[in-house]
Each structure stands twice: as structure tokens, then as C-alpha cells.
Amino acid sequence: MRSMNLKSIIRRKTKGCTIVRGNEFEENILNRDFKADNINKKWVTDVTYLKYGENHEHKAYLSAVKDLYNGEIISWVVSKTNDNPLVMKTIKAAIEANPGVTPILHSDRGFQYTLKEYVREVSKAGITRSMSRVGRCIDKAPMESFWSHFKDEYYYDCTFITYEELVTGIADYINYYNNERYQWNLKNLTPVEYRNQIA
């Protein structure tokens, strides 16, 4: 590797930073059973922060929902603020893209996921909430895995000066992740084509 000037990417350890508020908690129904027998049976969601600017002085927040059947990111939203609208836009986009489905939706106990507005929206759609125990990142390991792959394979190697550049980069990577990374060789279909075929 030295002679060819190659360097490996070392995936970084992360520290949890979930802020727990409210009292709209649920049991951990998912209970680390990350396998699903069809699409729209089990979803997991989370928020991560990303820095941009010449000196990385600005923060943006990426919220996403992942389907545990095929690993597809089915909705995502970027915002300059980590607030309730960020999470609400993400979950509404997932519901609108998949009308009538009633998956288990797993999250941590972050303040956005314990709000009455979030509970009301999810319940209205017939979705069953499941929540990680405090300080147990492994309870939502598939989402943590996506954040890790995104940052190690793309984000850490790029410099984003503007917010718009960051959003474009996120869109490019998620498109790659959904449509190319795992080759999706089920009848040579993309995840979206596959979902539409069996829906």
C-alpha cells in the first residue's frame, strides 16, 4: 500500500448525543430484529449533523428514513436547524411516498420523536412506533450504519463550502447508495423499480 500510495479508510467511532425530553415513549418493539420479509414492514429513522463552510463553522442536519427490507433510504430532508419541522417533513415524505403502508417505525428517544405532533402523525397513518433504550445506539444499528458509510465513503473526503453544495452532495450519495452500491441485481432493477413491481 505504501509503494502504491494507498490509504485505507478507518471508520470512526461516534458518541451518542440524544437529547431526551417529553413522555411520549414507546417500548422497543423492533428489539434489534433488523430483518424484514417485505418492503414497508420495518422502517428506522434518525438525524445526524454535518459541517460545512471554509472552516467547517456551520452545521446542517440530515434526517432520513430507511427501509430494513432492502436498505433503501425512502425519504430524507436536510435543514440548517435540528428542530421539529425537520423530522416532521421527513416522516410525512415517507408516508406520502408509500400511502397505506403500516410499518413498525423505530427511532431513538430524541426530543423530536416524543412530540405530540409526531405521535399524532404517525398514529394517524397506522404506523407502530418503536423506540431505542437510552444510550443504546445498537438498537438502531442499521441507521447508524448508513450514517457511518455515508460519512466514511463520501462526506469526510469532500469539502462543502456552501449549504447548497452539501445538499447536492447528499442527494448524489443517496442516489448512489440506493441504486448502485449494492448493485440491486434482483432482475436488474433499482430499489424503486423493485418496490413498484411488488407493491
Q: Considering its fold, how many domains does the chain have in total? A: 1
Residue 175 lies in a domain: yes
Please report, for residues 16, 64, 93, 110, the alpha-carbon distance to residue 19 in angstroms, rounded to integers and kept in the order given: 9, 18, 24, 5
Residue 158 lies in a domain: yes
**What CA–CA distance (Å, rounded) separates 36 from 71?**
10
Q: What is residue 5's predicted lDDT score, i.e. its pLDDT?
A: 81
Tell me which H or E stretch contains 107. Answer: strand 104-107
Q: Average pLDDT for residues 62-90, to the nearest whole number? A: 96
Residue 107 lies in a domain: no
Select the more confidently predicted residue: 20 or 63. 63
186, three cell numbers: 434482483
Residue 49 lies in a domain: yes
Q: Average pLDDT for residues 136-146, to the nearest whole number? A: 91
What confidence tier does 89 reach under pLDDT thresholds 50, 70, 90?
A: very high
Select the more confidently predicted residue: 22 or 80. 80
What confidence tier does 133 reach under pLDDT thresholds 50, 70, 90?
A: confident
Q: Average pLDDT for residues 142-160, to the nearest whole number? A: 93
Q: Average pLDDT for residues 70-94, to the nearest whole number? A: 96
Residue 22 lies in a domain: no
Residue 130 lies in a domain: no
Q: What is residue 17's predicted lDDT score, i.e. its pLDDT?
A: 47
**What CA–CA distance (Å, rounded) separates 163 from 135?**
30
Residue 74 lies in a domain: yes
**What CA–CA distance (Å, rounded) separates 86 from 113?**
11
Q: What average pLDDT does the chain have?
A: 87
**What CA–CA distance (Å, rounded) separates 28 from 132?**
6
Domain containing residue 81: 45-100+141-198
Report yes or no: 44 and 106 within 8 Å, Cβ to Cβ: yes
Residue 70 lies in a domain: yes
